[in-house]
Chains A and B, each alone.
Chain A
């Protein structure tokens, strides 16, 4: 039996930011994730390990390097919006223009 509301939504995006998911990008990603009600998980591979994207300590500890594909998984009412916003942030290079 499947329940659409309980099936998490997925998204993946290639991170091209020069220094990877370092301090400032981590803070931006976490802050954005926190603006959504959905629970949001983040991983460097579809197989996990998955961490809480709203935990600044865990996101920073992940130390994802440049050219990592970031995988997001979200569930909750605003899950789709959350994924869209997070993918857009990574695609915008965390708003750190060079």
Chain B
């Protein structure tokens, strides 16, 4: 699959992340690589750098990967995960400043048409108050 930008959904709650991913699959379809992660290994709320890196790996696309996050740690851990990627991948992964559910659906819709990473991010971020 794909010449399309991949989407990663990172929430503190695995249920939120999975639910958002489900909405993307049902509303947009499966032409966009999509992965989610959320929760800590003990089954509580949280995010982990390693699972974010694994999720990026699962959806890796030459066109890049857009990450949608919920609160605080989801964002900082995603940024840390990007920093730990191999050099040639770092510049092709971005965290979108957008609401997690709406942003994921908008980003995936844009990505499904073959848009660039920058276009995908801008579409997701169009939702946020300027």
Contacts and interface: CB of A to CB of B under 8 A. Distances in A.
Interface string A51-92: 000111100100000000000000000000000000000000
Number of chain B interface residues as a range: 10 to 19
B27 A56 contact: no
A4 to B, nearest CB: 28
A76 B109 CA distance: 22
B11 interface: no
Contacts of A54: 113
Contacts of B80: none
A57 B126 contact: yes
Interface in A30-70: 30-31, 34-35, 54-57, 60
Interface in A11-46: 23-24, 27, 30-31, 34-35
Interface of B: 27-29, 105-106, 109-110, 112-114, 123, 126-127
8 closest A-B pairs (Cβ-Cβ)?
A: A34-B113, A56-B109, A57-B126, A27-B27, A27-B109, A56-B106, A24-B27, A27-B28
